[in-house]
Amino acid sequence: MDPLSDVLSLLRPHNYMVRGFDVAGPWAIRVGAHEGIKCYAMVSGEGWLTVEGVTDPVRLQAGDCLLLPRGRPFVLGSDPMARPVEIETLVAQAREGVVTVLNGGGDCFGIGGWFSLAGHHAGMLLSVLPPIVHIRGDADRAALRWALEQMMQELREPRPGSHLVAQHLAHLVLVQALRLHLADGPGGGVGWLFALADPQMSAAITALHQDPARRWTLQDLADRAGMSRSSFAQKFKATVGATPMEYLTRWRMMLAGDRLENSGDPVSAIALSLGYESESAFSTAFKRVMEVSPRRYGHGRRGTLLSPGEGARPAPHAGRVPQGALAR
C-alpha cells in the first residue's frame, strides 16, 4: 500500500455517525470539543464556520467539504453572529441517520460525520493537519460531488441499508478530502504527510513503508529519490522533521504497537518480522520510541494498566503518540 493508506489502515477510522441537516432562516449549530475527526460537507446553500482559536470565520459554499481534526469547539451557521443551538439539542430531536430540520429547512442542506480513530496513534495524522482542512476548489468539489449527492439521497430517502451506505460514503469523503488536501502541496508544513506531496520524498517514504524490515541505507533511499546522498539526507530532515533512519524506526514501532495490541504474536516474532535480529535490540528501540516496554504495551491493549492497590488508569501510551513518533 501507499503511505497514506498504510497510516489510515493502522488508525482504522470508524464512522460513529452520519447525519444530515436541513436548515433555513437565521441558523447556527454549535458543536463542542470532540475527539477524532469531524467531517462536514455543504451539499446546497451557503454558510459560515467559526472554530475556537481560529481568528477569521470561513465562508462555505455549496460543494465545500471540511475536516476538523483538532477537536476544537466550532459553530456552523448562516452568519458568524447568529445565536447557535447546541448540537445535542438537535440530535435529541431526530433519529440517528436521518435529517435534522431547523426552522423548517429549505435554505441549506449539509452532511456531517464523526470519525473515531482506533489505536493509540491518532496523533500520527491529527497533529500534522491544520485546525481546518477546507476543500473548496471547483475541481475538488467535482471530485466529491458524486459521494455527497449519494449521501444526501440515502439520508433524505432512507431505504434498507441506507445508514451503512451513508457511513461508507462518509469514509470515502474523508479519504478523498485528505488526498485533495495533500495535492495542494506542502504549504510550508513539516511532517510525513506534507512530505508525500514532494515526489522525491514520497518515493523514499513509500519504499520504507513497502519493506520496513529491510536494512535500508541512506544511499539506498537516496537512489530511490534520484538524489545524491547528502542532498537527500538534508531535504528529508527538513521536510519530514526526522532523519530517514529515525522515520524508519518510528514507523516500525508503530507497526509493532499495532500487532502487540491486536494479535497474539510473541515479541520475538514481531521483532524478527521488522528486521531486528534479536528481541533485546527490538525491545530497546521500542522503549526508546514508545516510552514503554513491548510487553507492558501489549498488556495495556485495553487502554488501561492496573497497578497493585490502584484502579484503572490510562496506559502511558493511550490516546497520544510519544514525543517525535511520527507526530510532526
299, 310 Cβ separation under 8 angstroms:
no
Closest CA to 203 of 239, 175, 254, 230: 239
Please state the length of the chain.
Answer: 328
Query: Does residue 230 sit in the same domain as residue 134?
Result: no
Looking at residue 155, its pLDDT comes to 77
CB 328 within 8 A of CB 192: yes
Residue 297 lies in a domain: yes
pLDDT recorded at residue 309:
30
Cell of 137: 476548489
Q: Mark whether 115 and 208 lie in a shared domain.
A: no
Residue 114: φ, ψ to 5°: -125, 125
Q: Read off the CATH number of the domain in which 288 is found.
A: 1.10.10.60
Q: Where are the alpha helices (DSSP H) in the chain?
A: 3-11, 87-91, 123-126, 138-156, 162-183, 192-195, 199-210, 218-225, 229-240, 244-262, 267-273, 279-290, 294-299
Give the C-alpha distances (Å, rounded to integers) separating 54 from 49, 73, 75: 10, 11, 12
Nearest to 244 by CA among 264, 215, 276: 215
Q: Please, what is the Cα angle at 189 between 184 and 191, to 5 degrees?
A: 105
Q: Among 158, 183, 208, where does a domain finish?
A: 183
pLDDT of residue 148: 79
| Domain span at 45 | 3-183
Question: Is residue 320 one of the residues assigned to a domain?
Answer: no
pLDDT tens digits in sequence order for the chain, 328 residues long? 788 888 888 887 876 677 888 899 899 999 999 888 888 889 899 999 999 999 999 999 998 989 999 889 999 999 999 999 898 887 776 655 567 788 888 999 988 888 888 656 777 777 778 889 898 878 777 878 888 788 878 877 888 988 788 888 888 888 888 888 887 765 556 788 888 889 999 999 999 999 999 999 999 999 999 999 999 999 999 999 999 999 999 999 999 998 988 888 899 999 999 999 999 999 999 999 988 999 888 765 433 322 223 233 333 333 333 334 453 4
Between β-strands 47-51 and 133-135, what pairing exists: parallel, antiparallel or unpaired? unpaired
Same domain for 170 and 203, yes or no, is no
